[in-house]
Amino acid sequence: MPVTPELLELLACPVCHGSLHADAERPALLCPSCGLRYPIKDDIPILLPEQAERLQPADGAPDAAPPAA
């Protein structure tokens, strides 16, 4: 079951508390505010900063500082 729009409205980035968006290319959620990609594994969003990947500027995210541990 994919992440529904209703669930996306409830979820927020654990680092900056910004809104999350579904990644069109892979099972992940994107935070454009801080430039992190959170994986979705077995239909469960993994919203742990240590599991997030830094987006490259080419992905459309601003070049931001690494997530706080």
Whichever domain contains 9, its CATH number is 2.20.25.10
Domain span including residue 50: 5-59
11 domain-assigned? yes
- Whole-structure pTM value: 0.77
Do the Cβ atoms of 29 and 56 come closer than 8 Å?
A: no
Q: Does residue 64 sit within a domain?
A: no
CA–CA dist 28, 20 (Å, integer): 10
Domain count, the chain: 1
Name the token pair of 3: 């992440």
Measure the CA–CA gap between 55 and 5, rounded to whole angstroms: 22
Residue 13 resides in a domain: yes
Buried b (16+ CB within 10 A) or exposed e, 16-40: beeebebbeeeebbbbbbbbbbbbb
Q: Is residue 38 part of a domain?
A: yes
Does 67 reside within a domain? no
Give the pLDDT confidence score for residue 61 in this predicted structure: 46
Provide, rounded to the nearest whole percent, the portion of the chain with pLDDT above 70. 81
**Is 68 within a domain?**
no
